[in-house]
Amino acid sequence: MFLKPIFFIALGLFGLYTIEFGVVGILPAIMERFSVSTSQAGMLVGLFALVIALLGPFMVLLLSKFNRKNVLITSLLIFTGSSFLSAYTPNFYVLLALRILPALFHPVFFSLAFVAAVSLYAKDKATQASAKAFVGTSMGMVLGVPLTSYIADQFSYEASFIFTAFVNSIAAVGIAFFLPKTDAAQKVTYKEQLGILRKAPLWISIGGATFIFAAMFSVYSYSAEFLGQVMGMSDEIVSVMLVIFGLGGVAGNLVAGRLLGVHRMRTTIFQPLVLAISFLLLYFGEISFVPVIGMMILWGAAHTSGLIVTQTWLTSEAPEAPEFANALYISFINLGVSIGSAAGGAFIAAAGIKGTIWSGLLFIGFAFVCIAVKMVYGRAGVLNCGSKFRCH
């Protein structure tokens, strides 16, 4: 298992998301080290997400002509170098600048990694391949923060960055040795790749994915405060609960991958429905008879499975340009994260900490509208088959 290419692809995704979110776990150390404010330190996360959202699709389009394996290795080496240099930079703005280059290559690695993962398996196992790769993504998103914080506390500030550099370097070596060498989508021209932007179903799927992520991060962005205020948990218990959340997320991703292979649309409807149920359990958490651990596992599974469900739903609309479709996906879900976090904060300001649940449910409602429109659009397309109109 550990010497298979899918393991190193997942490890690279773990390292990538540890770069993006891991700095959150050491923000206090960064603030003290460079004498900057909380808002300044927060730019390390905000700038990273902004670069992905604005430039991600263009970077993937630009590099789509190059050999996929070489681009994956180059991206991982860039992540390694930027993490290593970040450990020893003496200036905050240099640290901020060192976030730009990995942010540019974040969507490149993400997009090509999933195409590479799917290429390793038979066509009917494609969603399971994506689910296995998403284990690295979910672990990086959920465990990257507490892990870097723990390493910094136990060893040093520098060690947290060196750990990330080490993970990405191992992934680069593994991909170099074990991933079969394949060409990038050289037969797909830029014009053909951009042509997927004319597809209405693709934009409906983009809207649905954006709303799902807005719902997810409306609540998850304030998870520690919610568990502390509503559930009355101490900081130590909150950390344990978030680890349980992460384990539930890994299981949820794998289960969702199997379900998608059986029936994609039913799974697409089921995921936001379960997410809404988990939000309601959280809302009534202080009076609920549901064991807290079970609640956290369900929430983690529903939250993290949103990755594989939305990615499969969106990219299935553009099989002729999978890399570019993945780039659009990563760009818009980052937009969803930003929208959800902002909306969750606004709802909290208006209605208290429980307001974040209402924000999440609102975006789930918007996502269901997109799903309904997609189903109606698809049914209309089926009815038009056999007529003078051409079916796509």
pLDDT per position as a tens digit, 160-173: 999 999 999 999 99
Name the DSSP letter for residue 125.
Answer: G
Q: How confident is the model at residue 389 (pLDDT cuts 50, 70, 90)?
A: very low
H-helix segments, 64-156: 68-88, 92-97, 100-119, 126-154
- Mean pLDDT across 142-152: 80
Q: What is the percent of the chain where pLDDT is above 90? A: 33
Cα gap 138→304, rounded to integer Å: 6
Q: With b meaning 16 or more CB within 10 Å and e meaning fewer, what string describes 248-270?
A: bbbbbbbebbebbbeeeeebbbb
pLDDT of residue 212: 95
pLDDT of residue 288: 59
Contact in structure between 89 and 95 (CB atoms under 8 Å)? yes
Q: Do domains 1-180 and 195-391 have the same CATH topology?
A: yes
pLDDT of residue 271: 93
Residues 234-287: pLDDT tens digits? Answer: 777 877 887 888 888 888 888 887 888 788 888 889 999 999 999 999 888 765
Domains in the chain: boundaries: 1-180, 195-391
Backbone angles phi, psi at 233, to 5 degrees: -85, 150
Fold observed for domain 1-180: Growth Hormone; Chain: A; (1.20.1250)
Tokens 């539930």: give the residue.
Answer: 248
What percent of the residues of the chain are helix, what percent strand, and what percent coil, each to the nearest 5?
85, 0, 15
Cα gap 368→7, rounded to integer Å: 34
Q: How far is CA 207 from the centre of its chain?
A: 16
Residues 332-375: pLDDT tens digits? Answer: 988 888 888 888 888 988 998 899 999 999 999 999 999 999 88
pTM over 0.75: yes
Cα gap 342→373, rounded to integer Å: 26
Domain 195-391, architecture per CATH: Up-down Bundle (1.20)
Residues 54-93: pLDDT tens digits? Answer: 888 889 888 888 888 999 999 999 999 999 999 999 999 9
Q: In angstroms, what is the C-alpha Rg of the chain?
A: 21
Q: How confident is the model at residue 187 (pLDDT cuts 50, 70, 90)?
A: low
DSSP sequence for 181-235: P---STTS-HHHHHGGGG-HHHHHHHHHHHHHHHHHHHHHTTHHHHHHHTS---H
Residue 21 pLDDT greater than 50, yes or no:
yes
pLDDT of residue 160: 92
Contact in structure between 367 and 215 (CB atoms under 8 Å)? yes
pLDDT of residue 1: 52
Backbone angles phi, psi at 381, to 5 degrees: -65, -40
